[in-house]
Structure formats: C-alpha cells, structure tokens
Amino acid sequence: MGTILIRYGEIALKGRNRSMFTRQLRHNVRAALRQNGIAGAVREEGRRLYVDTDQPDAAAQHLRRVFGIVSLSPIAHVERSIEAMRAAALEMAGRFGLSPAHSFRVEARRSDKTFPHTSPEIGLLVGGAVQEATGARVDLSAAADFTIGIEVQRDGAALYGEIVPGPGGLPLPTAGRAVALLSGGIDSPVAIWLLMKRGCGVIPLHFTQDPEETQKVLDNCKVLAQYSYGWRLEPIVVSHAEVMAPVVARLRELHAERWTCVLCKRAMLAKAAELAAERGAQAIVTGDSLGQVASQTLANMEAISLGIAKPILRPLIGLDKTEITVLARKIGTFDISIRLAKPCPYVPANPLTQGSVEALRDLLARMEQL
C-alpha cells in the first residue's frame, strides 16, 4: 500500500466556501481512480488530500490531470522523530543515486507546531545526515538536482522525493456550466480545456459538415474527457447544413455573400444559446483569437454577438497561434486537430472583415423581407 499527497492552490483562499471546493475535489479524485480501475481511499488532513492505494504509480498518472490539483507526490509515512526522517531521507537519496556529483536540498514543513524542532531545524538535521552519507552538495535553490520534502503532521511525518505537477485551477463543475462551440481545428479544444480548468462543466456543440471532421471532434472529446473528472463530457452534434443553408440562400439573393462567415458564426451562437437555455448553462464558449480569421476581427465579433442571449466567453482572445499550439500539444489534442478534413463549403471568396452592428441590422431586416 502506498500513499499520494495531493496539494491544491487557490482553493485554500476560498474562505467560508472552501469546504465546498475540497469536497468536490475529493469527489473528483475518487472519480479519477474509479474510472481507471484503481482502488483507493481518499482522505483530507489539514490543507492536504491523501490517497491510499496499492497502485500509487498508476494513480499518480491519472490524478495529475484532475483540475484543482496543483501537484502531488508519492510519500513515505514515518514516525515523528528526526531519526525516522533521517532514515527515510537516506533511503530516498539512495534510490535517486545521490552522489558528490549532485546537489540537493531539504524542504521541511511543520504543520503540527507541537513538534519540538522548527522547520529550518528539521531541514538542517536531516540534510546534514544526507550530506555526510552521500557527499552531495547543498543547494537551497530550485535548481537543486534532488529535493527531499518533509511534512511533519500530528500523527507522523511524510517524506517525498518527487513532485508531479497537476493542472491547477478549480474542480469541475464548481464554476457552473457552458455550451462550447467545438470544431475539428486546433483552437476550440484548447478553449474548452481552459474553461474546464476554471471549474466550468462544458457541453461541446459541434456543427457537422463531413464525417472526417466530426471524427476529429469526437476523438478530441475523448482526450478532453481525460481531464473531465467530476463532469461527464457529452458532445452534441447537429447538422451545419441545416443551420446554414437557408442563411446562405438568402445572402445569395441579396448578393451579400461577403457576410457569410459573420452570419454563420452568429447562427451557431444562437443555436448554442438555445441549447444553453435547455441545459441550464450560463454561458457560451468559443475558440476566437483576436484577428486570426475574418470572423474574429473586433468589428465582426461585435456584430456576431448581436442579439445572443447568453454571455460569450473567449478564453483564447489574447493568444496567438503559436501560444495556442503549445497548449494543444500539452493537453494532447494537437495531432488530432491537424488531421486533414474537407474545408467549409460556404466560405466566400472575399469574406467581410470589418462588419458593423448597424450594417448587420440593415442586412437582417432585408433578409426578413425576402
């Protein structure tokens, strides 16, 4: 049986609401274990969570994707004595292969102030034994080759030699829910991941144009589901042609095809708002990045937003394509998103880039007269 220490970050700042967030985080940790066939018990002590499991390595690989977790560490539990801490630290140093060619540091934290030694004293007493046994040099900075962490608690001491980063953020779905437009491209899966990181339960909405594009979306949803512990990610697929064919026909009659991308995006947002009302969602999410394509100029986004009944969240708005691509690679959606698929059949030869609300109102009025 092994134990994993779980650290959370901003949840600790939630004041009177903190118990609600930690309760949901415990629930999501249990979900991550259960959905991956790992038996384990989750408990809370102070401002830490602990997972007791006979599969600590496998559990850590899945728990590192649970939103709300800042980092985690497999730990060794020993009694509350300097001698026991020294022995455990030396064992860890030996497994790491600590030698005179390496540097190390000891980070001690005394959560139980009744322990007779202060945190700096613990670090000095344990670190001195490690240095004497291994000949490694002490480096108190983050650049040290090896860090031995010690947390002294009421019922013992926890030691760790590895810190596995988590995604941070807030546990799902503590921030509510939103409907997200999800295409087969690079941007929208990243936008969904960022909203999920903020604790938002996402309902993906895809407007299908061809089977290859839709399969990309479904495959990316499987990747995103690996981060969605605590929320069931269920994509909704509707026909793009059914939404856009009548709009395109009217635009052609008015010789206003340049407006196609603006009205296409607005029609999709209107459908998303309708779905949000049905599903109790508070907002809509898009993968817009300012100036990236014709529909994402500031003027066009203002026009596109006209009359949409729900707030529109654009988490990528200030990122460029390089930054978005880095995130896509990090979360695992990039390779799926770049698979070839058919282009949109409705994109005009010369799309409008600087629409206005006034011009759109006039166009909509003319379309209703047809």
User: Over the stretch 197-213, which tens digit does the pLDDT of each residue have?
Assistant: 999 999 999 999 999 99
> Which of 27, 287, 55 minimizes the C-alpha distance to 174?
27
Q: Is the pLDDT of residue 311 over 90?
A: yes
Q: Is the pLDDT of residue 56 over 90?
A: yes
Confidence band, pLDDT 50/70/90 cuts, at residue 314? very high
Mean pLDDT of 219-230: 97
How does DSSP classify residue 42? Answer: E
Q: Is the pLDDT of residue 237 over 70?
A: yes
User: Over the stretch 77-130, which tens digit does the pLDDT of each residue have?
Assistant: 999 999 999 999 999 999 999 999 999 999 999 988 899 999 999 999 999 999
Q: Is the pLDDT of residue 335 over 80?
A: yes
How does DSSP classify residue 315? Answer: T
Q: Are 88 and 158 in contact (CB under 8 A)?
A: no
Q: Report CA-CA distances (Å) from 326 to 63, 331, 332, 369.
A: 22, 9, 10, 47
Model pLDDT, residue 153: 86
Model pLDDT, residue 204: 98
Q: Is the pLDDT of residue 370 over 60?
A: no
Mean pLDDT of 65-71: 97
> Which of 352, 312, 297 minimizes the C-alpha distance to 181?
312
Q: Is the model more confident about 12 or about 281?
A: 281
Q: Are 337 and 216 in contact (CB under 8 A)?
A: yes
Model pLDDT, residue 69: 98
Mean pLDDT of 13-37: 95
Mean pLDDT of 9-17: 90
Report residue 324 CA to chain centroid gap. Answer: 13
How much of the chain, in percent, has pLDDT values that exceed 70?
Answer: 99
Give the global pTM. Answer: 0.90
Phi/psi class of residue 278: alpha, beta or left (left: φ > 0; alpha: ψ in -120 to 50)?
alpha
Q: Are 205 and 243 in contact (CB under 8 A)?
A: no
Q: Are 355 and 261 in contact (CB under 8 A)?
A: no
Model pLDDT, residue 175: 96
CATH for 2-165, options being 3.30.2130.30, 3.40.630.40, 3.40.720.10, 1.10.3720.10:
3.30.2130.30
Token pair in block for residue 220:
């990316």
Report residue 68 CA to chain centroid gap. Answer: 9
Q: Is the model more confident about 193 or about 352?
A: 193
Q: Is the pLDDT of residue 1 over 90?
A: no
- CA 183/CA 26 separation, integer angstroms: 32
Record: fold of 177-369:
Rossmann fold (3.40.50)
Which residue bears the tokens 């002590």? 45
Model pLDDT, residue 264: 92
> Which of 197, 200, 193 minimizes the C-alpha distance to 173?
200
Mean pLDDT of 354-369: 90
User: Over the stretch 102-111, which tens digit does the pLDDT of each residue have?
Assistant: 999 999 999 8
Which residues, 6+ apart, have CB-to-CB distance to 335 below 8 Å? none
Which residues, 6+ apart, have CB-to-CB distance to 140 below 8 Å? 105
In terms of C-beta density within 10 A (0-12 exposed, 13-18 middle, 19 or more buried), how is residue 252 classed?
exposed
Confidence band, pLDDT 50/70/90 cuts, at residue 369? low
Domain coordinates of the chain in residue numbers? 2-165, 177-369
Helix ranges restricted to H, the chain? 18-35, 56-63, 82-96, 119-134, 187-197, 211-225, 240-253, 260-279, 298-304, 321-331, 334-337, 357-369
- CA 170/CA 358 separation, integer angstroms: 40
Model pLDDT, residue 283: 98
Model pLDDT, residue 346: 85
Token pair in block for residue 333:
């959606």
User: Over the stretch 243-296, which tens digit does the pLDDT of each residue have?
Assistant: 888 898 999 999 999 999 999 999 999 999 999 999 999 999 999 999 988 889
Average pLDDT taken over every residue of the chain: 94
